[in-house]
Amino acid sequence: MSLKDKVSRRPFLAALGGLVGLSVVGGAVVEGPKLFRGQFRHHGYSELLSRLNDPDAANRLGMQVLNEAEVFEPQVVASELHRRLKGRVLADVLADDATQGRVVETSGWVLPETLALLCGLAAKIS
């Protein structure tokens, strides 16, 4: 991968590439019901989204994540998040993302990849 690829303007898309591919195979598009602002009560994602300590901020950031993602498949993202977070504290997962170099850019903000996915999911179903 060239340097340019590594620091491209929207590397988040690349980070989601694998997940997008999975969603195409599955062919599923889930339109989550509207949720009350600041709450994550959707039955499929509530456990995941309850990890976010500041729902309003996560929602705002997540909207930008979605704006910059060409495709965002909630089911696939949720599945990946379940895998990453299973039995672990979110803060540790995010720090581990950074340690492992799993960071993405959203409107220039360098974020742990897991946080970007989680915020994107929060915005998607709200």
Partner 1 sequence: MSAFADARTVPSGTTIETDIAIIGAGAAGITLALSLARKSLRVLLLESGGGAFDSKTQALYAGTQTGVPYLKLNASRMRFLGGSTNHWGGWCRPLDVSDFDARPWLAHSGWPFPRSEIEPYFPHAQAWVEAGPLVYDTGKAWFDTFGAPLKLGDGGVYTSFFQFSKMRGSVLPTNFGERYEADLKREPNLSLLLHANITNIALSNDAHSVDHLKVATLSGRSFTVKPKYTVLATGGIENARMLLASNDVMSAGIGNGNDLVGRYFADHAIPRDTATLVLFDGNLAPYYQNNQTDKAGTIFRATLAPTDGFKKAKGILDSLATIEGNAPLDDLGKAAIAATASSMNVDASNAKALSVGCGFELSPDPDRRFTLTNERDALGMPRLQLHMTLADSDYQSYRATLKELGRQLLESRIGMIRLDRATRDEWLSVMDWGNHHMGTTRMSGDPKTGVVDPNSQVFGVSNLYVAGSSVFPTYGASNPTMNLVALTLRLANHLKGLFT
Instruction: Closer to partner 1 by CB, 21 or 54: give it.
Output: 54
78 is an interface residue for partner 1 by CB under 8 A: no
DSSP letter (8 states) at residue 32: P
Q: Please answer whether residues 39 and 49 qualify as being in contact, where contact means their C-beta atoms are separated by less than 8 angstroms.
A: no
* 50 contacts: CB under 8 Å, gap ≥ 6: 40
Query: How far is 96 from 38, CA to CA, in rounded Å?
Result: 27
The residue within the footprint of partner 1, chosen from 75, 112, 117, 121 (CB under 8 A), is 112
Residue 81's region, left for phi above 0, alpha for psi from -120 to 50, else beta, is alpha
Instruction: Closer to partner 1 by CB, 23 or 104: give it.
Output: 104
73 is an interface residue for partner 1 by CB under 8 A: no
Instruction: Closer to partner 1 by CB, 28 or 57: give it.
Output: 57
Instruction: Closer to partner 1 by CB, 24 or 88: give it.
Output: 88
In degrees and rounded to multiples of 5, residue 89 shows phi and psi of -80, 135
Overall residue count recorded for the chain in this entry: 126
61 is an interface residue for partner 1 by CB under 8 A: yes
Residues forming the site for partner 1 (CB under 8 A): 3-4, 6-7, 9, 51-54, 56-58, 60-61, 64, 89-91, 94-95, 97-99, 101, 103, 105-112, 115, 118-119
